[in-house]
């Protein structure tokens, strides 16, 4: 009787997902603050009612990938659907790297980029962002080449800094490294689709773009996409588990992505909320100069850097508002008007009490 967990499992630091708590304002998970409109919910109910529950899902989610391709103007045969982009990140790490090979990511960035490499027994090197959370394409290229990295993986625009690199900067990286470059564009919809590298996958043998439906309105169904050239898409199809996206998610995801007007207007509403939140926080900063540093967001959240981020986090929590705490900064998701107002007045109250 001497079973012991292996080293990687004994060392594992589990990801702690945020739990939905009744009565709390959740600005902590970058979800959309809007539920789907009634008309679309009705269509979904009808489609769900027709489900062949006794059959497996379509293994390649053809209808769904077609709807995705149409909305984002990419080729259908460049698309792989996943059970959230989390599944795709895990697939990329565990298949495009051999044991002991190196993936480069940036710090701070999405926590899953370091979580999966630890499980896959690959090396993960994090390149620290400089002051003002900046990072240059030159630095990234140098590090990737110097380390003989096999993959470079980061979010653009970045979660949690809210900042983005331009399309030109991203392509410069793709052209100048020998590694596979995975650009996670989870938040690109809230910035500027002309900065997206979607469509460029055709021109490079080392580019994969990740997308998710979680931030644009349907976090509940777990749906993400990888976009890559035909060859890489063939590999992704070959290594994924056969029925990775369930039938209900395929149906709901197809209807969601086909409702292009709804998607566009929801995206706009989230951008409007983000701008209002950003302006509100800026106004608070003007009344309390130097209280924190604020970044110009190209996402659906704003990032505030301050030395005692944990104290503010605790104060907000005590007032029923949950935001995401990082070492030395907070990430606040754009919410409804009421939610944003609650956050802003509580932030102001905290700064007044503190002084
Ligand atoms: C939220 C988020 C994801 C997660 O996407 P899922 O499709 O919900 O798994 C991926 N990448 C980044 C950068 C995110 O912030």
Strand order in the sheet with 180-184: 79-82, 224-228, 207-212, 180-184, 151-155, 102-107, 123-128
28 Cβ below 6 A of ligand 1: no
Q: Would you state the pLDDT for residue 166?
A: 98
Beta bridge partners of 211: 225
From 59, 68, 73, select the one nearest 200 (Cα to Cα): 73
Residue nearest to atom 14 of ligand 1 (CA): 186
86 Cβ below 6 A of ligand 1: yes
For the segment 247-252, the average pLDDT, to the nearest whole number, is 98
Using 50, 70 and 90 to split pLDDT, how confident is the model at 279?
very high
The answer to which of 15-19, 39-43, 264-268, 325-329 has the lowest mean pLDDT is 15-19
Residues 143, 106: Cα–Cα separation, whole Å: 11
pLDDT tens sequence across 85-119: 999 999 999 999 999 999 999 999 999 999 999 89
Q: Would you state the pLDDT for residue 136?
A: 95
Q: Which atom of ligand 1 is nearest to 219's Cα?
A: 8
214 Cβ below 6 A of ligand 1: yes
Q: Would you state the pLDDT for residue 22?
A: 80
108 Cβ below 6 A of ligand 1: no
212 Cβ below 6 A of ligand 1: yes
How many helices (H) and strands (E) would you count in the chain? 12, 12
pLDDT above 70 (res 126): yes
228 Cβ below 6 A of ligand 1: no
Residue nearest to atom 2 of ligand 1 (CA): 186
186 Cβ below 6 A of ligand 1: yes
pLDDT above 90 (res 18): no
- CA atoms lying within 13 Å on the CB side of residue 239: 17
Q: Which atom of ligand 1 is nearest to 88's Cα?
A: 9
76: how many CB neighbours lie within 10 A of its CB? 13
197 Cβ below 6 A of ligand 1: no
pLDDT tens sequence across 164-221: 999 999 999 999 999 999 999 999 999 999 999 999 999 999 999 999 999 999 999 9
Residues 236, 59: Cα–Cα separation, whole Å: 12
The structure tokens 């979800």 sit at 31
pLDDT above 90 (res 355): no
51-69 burial, b at 16+ Cβ within 10 Å, e below that, comes to eeeeeebeebbebbbebbb
83 Cβ below 6 A of ligand 1: no
pLDDT above 90 (res 20): no
Q: Which atom of ligand 1 is nearest to 213's Cα?
A: 7
From 318, 319, 347, select the one nearest 332 (Cα to Cα): 347
pLDDT tens sequence across 32-80: 999 999 999 999 999 999 999 999 999 999 999 999 999 999 999 999 9
For the segment 257-276, the average pLDDT, to the nearest whole number, is 98
155 Cβ below 6 A of ligand 1: yes
Residue from 159, 210, 245 to probe ligand 1 pocket by mutation (most atoms less than 8 Å from CB): 159
Residues 156, 94: Cα–Cα separation, whole Å: 22
Q: Would you state the pLDDT for residue 15?
A: 82
More confident residue, 13 or 250: 250
In the reported structure, the alpha carbon of residue 186 is separated from the centroid of ligand 1 by a whole-number distance in angstroms of: 6
Give the pair of three-digit tokens for residue 164: 């983005």
Q: Where would I find the beta strands (DSSP E) of the chain?
A: 25-27, 79-82, 102-107, 123-128, 151-155, 180-184, 207-212, 224-228, 293-294, 301-305, 321-326, 329-333
What is the share, in percent, of the chain residues with pLDDT greater than 90? 94
For the segment 321-345, the average pLDDT, to the nearest whole number, is 98
Q: Would you state the pLDDT for residue 12?
A: 87
pLDDT above 70 (res 269): yes
pLDDT above 90 (res 14): no
């Amino acid at each position: 009787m001497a079973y012991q967990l292996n080293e990687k499992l004994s060392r594992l630091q589990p990801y702690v997902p945020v739990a939905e708590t009744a009565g709390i304002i959740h600005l902590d998970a970058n979800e959309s603050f809007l539920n789907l409109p009634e008309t679309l919910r009705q269509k979904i109910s009808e489609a769900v009612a027709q489900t062949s529950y006794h059959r497996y899902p379509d293994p390649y989610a053809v209808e769904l990938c077609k709807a995705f391709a149409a909305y984002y103007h990419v080729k259908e045969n460049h698309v792989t659907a996943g059970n959230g982009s989390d599944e795709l990140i895990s697939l990329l790490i565990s298949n495009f790297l051999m044991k002991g090979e190196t993936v480069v990511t940036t710090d701070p960035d999405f926590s899953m980029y370091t979580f999966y490499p630890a499980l896959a027994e690959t090396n993960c090197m994090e390149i620290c962002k400089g002051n003002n959370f900046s990072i240059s394409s030159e630095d990234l290229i140098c590090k990737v080449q110097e380390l003989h990295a096999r993959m470079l993986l980061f979010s653009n625009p970045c979660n949690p800094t809210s900042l983005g690199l331009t399309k030109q900067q991203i392509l410069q990286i793709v052209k100048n490294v020998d590694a596979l470059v995975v650009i996670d564009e989870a938040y690109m919809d809230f910035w500027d689709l002309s900065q997206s590298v979607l469509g460029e996958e055709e021109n490079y043998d080392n580019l994969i773009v990740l997308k998710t439906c979680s931030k644009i309105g349907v976090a509940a169904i777990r749906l993400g996409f990888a976009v890559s050239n035909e060859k890489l898409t063939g590999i992704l199809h070959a290594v994924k588990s056969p029925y990775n996206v369930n039938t209900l998610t395929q149906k709901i995801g197809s209807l969601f992505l086909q409702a292009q007007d709804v998607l566009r207007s929801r995206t706009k509403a989230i951008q409007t909320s983000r701008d209002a939140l950003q302006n509100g926080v800026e106004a608070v900063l003007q009344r309390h100069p130097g209280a924190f540093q604020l970044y110009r967001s190209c996402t659906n959240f704003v990032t505030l850097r301050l030395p005692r981020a944990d104290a503010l986090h605790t104060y907000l929590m005590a007032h029923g508002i949950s935001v995401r705490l990082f070492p030395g900064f907070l990430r606040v998701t754009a919410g409804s008007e009421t939610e944003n107002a609650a956050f802003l007045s509580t932030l102001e109250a905290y700064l007044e009490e503190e002084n």
